[in-house]
Amino acid sequence: MREHRREFRIFSRSSLFDSAAIREQAERMAAQGWLVEGISGFSWRYRRIEPRPLHFSVVYLAGYTAYDPDNDAEKQDFLEYCSQDGWRLAAWWKSMHLFYNESPAPVPIETDPLTQYRCVRNALLWGVILPEAYVLFASFSSRRFRRTLTLTPAQHLADPSFFWLVIWIFCSILLLADLFSAFAWIYRAGKAARQGIFLERKTSRLGKLAFCFCYAILFFLVAVYLTAALGLAGTAVLSGGLLLIILFLSFWQGRMRKAGVSCWQNLGRSFGLGLLLILLLFGMIIPAIL
């Protein structure tokens, strides 16, 4: 009988702040005898326990990233504070920290709706709004984008980079929809918090389907373009290589966190290692194609 299991789940920036869905997933698995012990952008990792109902709470600590060390002093103080009421850290990813409590009626970690709202808002600002707004600003202000505004539809179709233009449009739609959702929650939750109510941020089923649809189209367009440029074998090697690099870097970041390496050192080493691996991958593929 295995003691650990891994469930592959795409954990996007948007779903990172769907605290209700995260809590419900953890509670459902605990009732089946699996306690979450690790979360990444691609999977949830569980360990076997005695099936029982557990209470979970999601807390957002603004400023924490996937590169911050596990032994951060401020974070350890907060964990000590939570442990006094029986809350134990099950898993965390970036600013999201998932706690569990075995008590049938635990004391909530956060009791002030306004403070809770500000914590989520600040984490949302640093984790979603600023990065996505920067990507959109850099894209819209680029020379290539300004050039596309002067082209006719016929010129667009004749342009070799037409596929990338379509891909860029779908990426922009995803980012704009995510930003609109974030600002809408900030407005509604701010009003509710001032009235003493904390409004959880939830991702609707329609929104999830829309994002999945856009991601499917995006994947299809990229696959068509790469297949035309590299061939089926080259596309398979490139896709598999990039997936292995992403998984390896995720493992590397986790090892650096556990070793107590600082955020900036972890980020620098991961960036340098990732760049080196990508250059090696393209160095193997391009000569084979030529």
For 251, phi then psi, to 5°, come to -65, -40
Whether pLDDT at 88 is above 90: yes
Whether pLDDT at 102 is above 70: yes
Domain membership flag for residue 132:
yes
CA dist 86 and 260 (Å) reads 26
Domain ranges, residue 28: 4-101
Domain membership flag for residue 148:
yes
Choose the final residue of a domain: 181, 203, 225: 203
Choose the final residue of a domain: 81, 101, 121: 101
Q: Are residues 87 and 130 in the same domain?
A: no
Domain membership flag for residue 257:
no
H or E element: which one contains 36?
Answer: strand 34-39
Where does the pLDDT of residue 163 fall: very low under 50, low under 70, confident under 90, or very high at 90 and above?
low
Choose the final residue of a domain: 77, 101, 125: 101
Domain membership flag for residue 232:
no
Which amino acid, one-letter code, is at 29?
M
CA dist 25 and 19 (Å) reads 10
Domain membership flag for residue 127:
yes
268: tokens are 């620098």
On whether the CB atoms of residues 81 and 61 are closer than 8 A, the answer is no
Crossing angle for the helix pair 263-289 and 205-258, nearest 10 degrees? 110
Domain membership flag for residue 81:
yes
Using alpha carbons only, what angle is made at residue 182 by residues 181 and 185, rounded to the nearest 5 degrees?
Answer: 85
Q: Are residues 67 and 117 in the same domain?
A: no
Q: Are residues 48 and 116 in the same domain?
A: no
Q: Kindly state the average pLDDT of the residues 130-142.
A: 77
Domain membership flag for residue 275:
no
**How many distinct structural domains can be found in the chain?**
2
Q: Are residues 93 and 118 in the same domain?
A: no
Q: Are residues 89 and 172 in the same domain?
A: no
Question: How many other β-carbons are positioned within 10 Å of the β-carbon of residue 32?
Answer: 11
Q: Are residues 9 and 95 in the same domain?
A: yes
Predicted pLDDT of residue 256? 86
Domain membership flag for residue 231:
no
Q: Are residues 9 and 65 in the same domain?
A: yes
Q: Are residues 75 and 18 in the same domain?
A: yes
Q: Are residues 121 and 41 in the same domain?
A: no
Give the Å distances, CA to CA, from 180 to 14, 143, 176, 183, 213.
Answer: 11, 26, 6, 5, 18
pLDDT, tens only, 30-52: 999 999 998 876 778 899 999 99
pLDDT, tens only, 250-271: 788 878 888 888 888 888 888 8
